[in-house]
Structure 1
Amino acid sequence: MTTAALEPTTLDISGTPRIPLSRLVLVELRKLADTRAGKWLLITIGVITALIIGVFFLTAKTSDRTFLNFVGVTATPQGFLLPVLGILLVTQEWTQRTALVSFTLVPVRSRVMVAKVLAALVAGLAAIALALGIAAVATLLGGADNAWAQIGADDIGKFALLQASGVLQGLAFGLLFLNSAAAIVTYFVLPTAFSIVAGLWKPLEEAAPWVDLGTSQQPLFSGTDLSTDQWLHLATGTLIWVVLPFALGLLRVLRAEVK
C-alpha cells in the first residue's frame, strides 16, 4: 500500500508591499516613550528647558531678556540631554531584548537604522521647537527693547545644527556600544578627557580645532558668520566624532547576532 506525498504549500508574499519608512519612524518615536527611562528623559528635557528659561527670566535684567539670550540658555541643558536620547533610541533595543522582534518584522536592518536616525532628528527638532516657543513667550513678556533684533535665521540654524549634531553623536555612540551605561559614560568622558589632554599638550592644542568637536563647535555659539576655515574645522570634527563612530556602530549592528 502506498501513500501519495502531498506537495508542501507555500505562501507567496512577493507582492506584499514592505512597511513604509514613515511608519517605521513613527514606531521608533513611540519606542522613545514606551520605556520608563525614555519617558522620563522626554519629560526632563521639556521641564528643564522651561525651567532654565524661567530662571533666566527672573534673574536677568530687562535689557537682557532678548530672544537670542533665552534661546542661548537652553543650548547647554539640551546639549547634555539630547545625546542621551539618541543613545537610548538605539540601546533600548538591545537592553530590552526587542531587537529580535524589530529585525524579524523588518529584516533589512539598514531601514531600521535609517528610521532611528530620522526619529532622532525629529525628536531633536521637537526639543528645538519647544525651546524656541518658550523663548518667544518669555521674550514677549520680558519687555526688553529690540528684543528680536539680535537673532536671525542663520542663528537659529546654528542652534539647530548644534543640537542635531549632539543627538546624532549620541546615536552613533549607542550604535557603537549597544549598551546604555557604556555609551553614556563614554560619550561624556572621552570627549572631555580629549579636550583636557589637548589643553595640556601643545601639539594637540594647535590641532584641536580640527580634531576636537567641542572646539570646532565654539563658533556656533557666536553671533558672527563662520569663516571657511571654521566650517572646515566643524566638518572634520564632525567626521571624527559623529560620522566615524556611526559608521563603525552601523557595521556592528548590521553584522551582530541578535539573540
Structure 2
Amino acid sequence: MSTSTLPVDQPRPVTGVTPPSLLTLVRVELRKSYDTRAGRWLLVTIGLAALAVVAISLFVDDAPKTFADYFSFTQLPVGILLPVLGILLVTSEWSQRTAMTTFTLVPRRSRVLTAKVLAAAVLGVLGVLAAAVASGLATVLTPVFTDQPMDWSLSAAQAGQVLLVQVVYVLSGVAFGMLLLSSPLAIVTYFVLPTVFTIVVNLVSALDWVRDWLDLGTVTQPMFEGELDGQGWAQLATSAALWIVLPMVIGWLRIERSEIA
C-alpha cells in the first residue's frame, strides 16, 4: 500500500483550506446578532428605548437637559438590554442547533469564542453610540421645546467610563450565556441572581463590604457620571472577576471539552 493512501474509513486531511481570520469570525458573529428575529428586534428595541428615555426627559420640566444628562439617562435601557444580546450571541448556537456546524467549520473552538467576546464588545460600543445619537437629537430639540439652551458639555471621563461599563455589562451577558448555554435559563439567571444578591447585601448591614466590592450594579453606578475613583477601579475589577471572569472561564472550559450534539 502506498504511504499516501489512507484507509477508506479514515478521514482524509483537508489541504489548501485557509481558516477564516479572527476579523472574519467577528463579522460573522455580528451578523448573527441581527440575523435572528429575537436579535433583530432586540437591536430595534434598544434604539427605541434610548429615544423614549430622552423624549421623556425632554418634556419633564424638572429633568436636567444637557447632553451629558441625556447621555446618562439613555444608559439605563441600553445597560439592561445589551447583556441579553450578549447572551443570545452565545446561546443561539445551541437553541438553533448550529453549534455543530460552527465548530465543524472552525474546529478551534477558542477562536469562535474569542470572536463572540469581541463581537459583544463591538455591540457594547454600538449601543453607546446609539445612545449618543439619541442624546444629540434631544439636545438639538431642547431649545425648541423648552426655554433652556443647547448644552453639549460631556467630560472625557464620563464618555470613557460609560463606554467601559456597557462593554462590561454585555460581556457579563456573554459569560452567563457560556456558562448555561440556554437562552431562557441564562436570561432569567442573569437578572434574578444579581438582583437577589443586591437585595441581600443591602439588607444585611454586615455585608456592606460585600456590596461595595462584589455587587456589580453598585460598583458601576458612579461610572454613568464619570466619577469612578481610585478605589472604585479596584472594586470594579473585583466584581468583574466574580460576575464575568469566573462564569466565562467555567463556560469556556465547558464548551471546549464537551461533545457538541
**Identity within the alignment, %:** 46
User: Is 2:43 the counterpart of 1:42?
Assistant: yes
**Matched ranges for 1:1-259 at <5 A:** 7-8=5-6, 13-60=14-61, 64-143=64-143, 144-145=148-149, 147-149=151-153, 151-224=154-227, 226-259=228-261
2:19 aligned counterpart, secondary structure? coil
Q: Structure 1 residues 50-59 or 236-245, which shifts more?
A: 50-59
Deviation at 1:59, TM superposition (A): 2.2
What is the deviation of 1:221?
2.9
- CA-CA distance at 1:16 after TM superposition: 3.2
RMSD: 2.1
Measured after TM superposition, the shift of residue 12 of structure 1 is 5.8
> Which SS does the other structure have where 1:27 is aligned?
helix
Inter-CA distance 256–56: structure 2 relative to 1 (3 Å threshold): same
CA distance in 2, matches of 1:230, 1:60: 33
* Deviation sequence 1:10-43 (CA, Å, 0-9, x none): 9664553211111111111111122111111111
Whether the 8 Å CA contact 2:216–2:239 is kept in 1: the answer is yes
Cα distance, 1:200 vs structure 2: 2.0
Describe the SS at the equivalent of 1:64.
Answer: coil
1:125 is matched by which residue type in structure 2? V
C-alpha separation between the residues in 2 aligned to 1:25 and 1:19? 10
Q: For 2:17 and 2:128, how far apart are their aligned partners in 1?
A: 38
Equivalences, count? 252
1:19–1:145 CA distance, 2 compared to 1 (3 A): same
Q: Which runs of 4+ in 1 moved over 6 A?
A: none
d(CA) in 2 for partners of 1:218 and 1:48?
20
Aligned mates of 2:213, 2:125 — CA distance in 1: 27
Identify the range of structure 1 (119-128 vs 102-111) with the bigger mean alpha-carbon deviation: 119-128
- The residue type equivalent to 1:104 in the other structure is T
Q: Which stretch of structure 1 is more off in the superposition, 178-187 or 192-201?
A: 192-201
1:19 counterpart letter in structure 2: P
What letter matches 1:148 in structure 2?
W
State the distance in 2 between where 1:207 and 1:88 align. Answer: 30
Q: Give the residue type in structure 2 aligned to 1:110.
A: S
Return the alpha-carbon distance in structure 2 between the equivalents of residues 201 and 64 of structure 1.
34
- Structure 2 counterpart of 1:77, one-letter code: P
Between the aligned partners of 2:102 and 2:85, the Cα distance in structure 1 is 19
The 1:116/1:60 distance shift into structure 2, 3 A limit, reads farther
Q: Is the 8 A contact 2:140 2:150 kept in 1?
A: no
Separation in structure 1 between the aligned mates of residue 61 and residue 160 of structure 2, nearest angstrom: 25
Distance (whole Å) between structure 2 residues aligned to residue 222 and residue 7 of structure 1: 67
- In structure 1, list runs of 5 or more residues that go unmatched: none
Report the Cα distance in structure 2 between the residues aligned to 1:250 and 1:41, rounded to whole angstroms.
25
* Aligned counterparts of 2:68 and 2:141: Cα–Cα separation in 1: 14
Amino acid at match of 1:147: D
Q: Which moved more, 1:209-218 or 1:109-118?
A: 209-218
Deviations 1:196-223 (A, max 9, x none): 1112222212331111111211221335
Distance 1:112 1:140 in 2: 42
TM (norm. structure 2) is: 0.90
TM-score of the superposed pair, with normalisation by structure 1: 0.91
Secondary structure at the counterpart of residue 20 of structure 2: coil
